[in-house]
Amino acid sequence: MKKVLFISCLGMAALFMLPGICYGQKSEQEIDRNVKELLSKMTLEEKVGQMTQVTIQAVSAVRGTAEQAHRLDPAKLEEAIVKYHVGSILNVYDVAHPLDYWHEVITQIQDVATQKTRLGIPIIYGIDAIHGANYTREATLFPQSIAMAAARNPDLMKRSGEITAYEVRASGIPWNFNPVLDLARTPLWPRLFETFGEDPYLASVLGAAYIKGLEGENSDVGAPDKVAACMKHYLGYGFPMSGKDRTPAWIPERMLRDIFLPPFKKAVEAGIHTVMVNSGEINGIPAHSDYHILTEILRRELGFKGLVVSDWEDINRIYSRDKVAPTRKEAVRIAVMAGVDMSMVPYDFSFYEDLLALAKAGEVPLSRIDEAVGRILWVKFRLNLFENPYPDKKMKEKVGSEEFAAVSLQAAREALTLLKNEGNYLPLAKNKKVLVTGPAANLRSVLNSGWTYTWQGNEESLYPKNKKTILEAIQAKIGAERVAYVPGSTFDEALDIAQAVEAAKNADVAIICIGENAYCETPGNIHDLSLPKAQLDLAAAIQQSGTPAVLVLVEGRPRIITPVADDSKAILMAYLPGPEGGLAIADVLFGDYNPGGKLPFTYPRHPNDLVCYDYKPLETDDPNKMNPLYFFGHGLSYSAFEYRNLEITPRAAKDGEPIQVKVTVKNTGERAGKEIVELYLSDLYRSVSPPVRQLKRFSGALLQPGESKTVEFTLNRDDLAFHGRDDKYVVEPGEFKVAVGNLSAMFEIVETAGKASR
């Protein structure tokens, strides 16, 4: 009989107060009692072990590659769990596993944890399922988050979360290190594609929808098809001054609270169970050592009650890289006392050894360790791991199903953003003779990029051959005999540009697929936002041939294309659309789908003109005038939409009184289309200079030709509030402007109560 500690799946009302109930309808009071009971039975060594997380590499015998199967090392695994009492394992080493092998791995791990340890506490396994269960070979993958943000569809975002949760849990894994709630405020940053764009409201709405998909509407993560989500990277990670990954950020407190904190606040309100800490530093303080953000803001202000896990090796880096701690042991003390509950060590047991010594010396109080371990056990109970830590093999049949793939295809279609369409050049007739060229034309990896089968996503051989490249999708759409293909260049070097130009002369249109090769995190750092010269030269040469050119941009961040933008007949922003992206791009180019995506970031015109859409009045006039290539929210359609009858009620309101906004949108075009109706708010005068506008609401309206729809929004107090000169959250009296489409109207706040609620 397996030695499993069968403790009911419960909740901790007194300690944690998150919404919802645990799978199996157990009470929160019961989890409270069971956690306390289990803590009372644990030795100090067992508690410190629960706070220790190692990568699967630390317990492996053979590394996995495209040619070689991974294998665990039973002796190393037993050492980690039995000797060091490790509470969590993560990651792959180094390629995605087939579903059946995941079942073997998780079963081996849980067998050791439940049969060979004194208390039988199960392991919580964590994985970065960033755009689907990307480390399970058979799983459904989706567009990366930046593309999902262009779709502006919370229901679709939630559905992608539901599918991801199902397939991650079907793999036997209960914990997903996602969503990324950092904001894309600097386009150089290589993790931009993991975000929901540059706007805090957009990221808040989509992040919360995704969390509900992963965790369930009632935060019921113990359900067999749900997982614990992890909001990351708390806080301010996505705004490094250099634009390079894991480099310093300088963020004033007001900006931190008004711009970077809201998506995390919304995630806490959505019931999220875990958080991962920013790998970098803010204002000279490494985030893993920052008591202010990890305890004072996260715990006391936001009311987060779950588990805080470090990022990769980052507690040690307080000492080795950041030079804030004089020793590794002191780095451990600082991080734990700042508020980190679990250390992603990840290769060894140094955290365990250091924390154990600190606890025995009284430098980290037992009360702090009990607090951290209580949070870890609470998440494990909520996940139902004590009752069933093993994979459910019956879930296998739906993994990678056609039903799930159809959702991914729809997401890719909705994400595609038509940036330019001179003279309504698109859609193309299917009898055209077409040249397809460019380095992104015939690769599957570039449609997905990082976090796909491998960390960097650049192992082309791992991608399923039944998922079409852009070239293959176009060939299937109009017939291979109508399509010529010349690569033209790699991402960085010219190949056969002259041959591509000759082929263009024999074609009716050249579809030039340019952008970025697969990358992720620090290896994706760049020194210049401009698209590499080889690709710009390819596009320019074809444009000079006289053949109409259509640019398809396959990229995780907005690379500068200004030298070739004017001479392009059309420009389609594909982002990183996922495995169904080739089909979606062909559908849009040839008119089988009407594009409706909107830019989730500002597309810069020049390498050094990097300003977000919510810029300040100082930047409205020459010589500082904001002049991007395309604004945040830009996106064309094959239809035309007309806005009318913008109404605001009341026009004069008291502080706290809801503001109702109503507008009618009509499809005046000749084909059905989806218009994303966006409401922007401007506070005209206030004590801290206001942004020129801020996105506050959006809603998609699918309209047939000639059809009208009235869209209604309600603005509340938080939409009007900001942090004032004293960093207090306030609403100030005065005039506000609402803009929807090409319409605008005013309302006034005539009386305020001062400090707003949080």
Positions marked catalytic: 311
Where is 613: in which H helix or E strand? none
Collect all residues with Cβ–Cβ distance below 8 Å to 9 and sequence separation of at least 6. 22, 23, 24, 26, 31, 222, 381, 382, 383, 384, 386, 387
**Contact indicator for 146, 576 with CB cutoff of 8 Å:** yes
**Rounded distance between C-alpha atoms, residue 637 and residue 417, angstroms:** 9
Angle in degrees, 0-180, between the axes of helices 328-338 and 350-360, rounded to the nearest 10:
80
Q: Tokens for 620?
A: 């409205």
Distance of CA 545 to the CA centre of its chain: 40
Q: How many CA atoms lie within 13 A of 77 on its CB side?
A: 22
**Rounded distance between C-alpha atoms, residue 472 and residue 28, angstroms:** 53
Sole residue written with tokens 């058979």: 138
Beta strands in 77-147 (DSSP E): 88-90, 124-127
**CA distances for 394 relative to 163, 171, 224, 225, 404, angstroms:** 16, 11, 11, 11, 17
Collect all residues with Cβ–Cβ distance below 8 Å to 103 and sequence separation of at least 6. 171, 172, 391, 393
Q: Tokens for 663?
A: 């507008």
Q: Tokens for 342?
A: 């679990």
Collect all residues with Cβ–Cβ distance below 8 Å to 755 and sequence separation of at least 6. 728, 729, 730
What sign results for the dihedral spanned by CA atoms 694, 699, 700, 706?
Answer: negative
**Rounded distance between C-alpha atoms, residue 647 and residue 217, angstroms:** 33
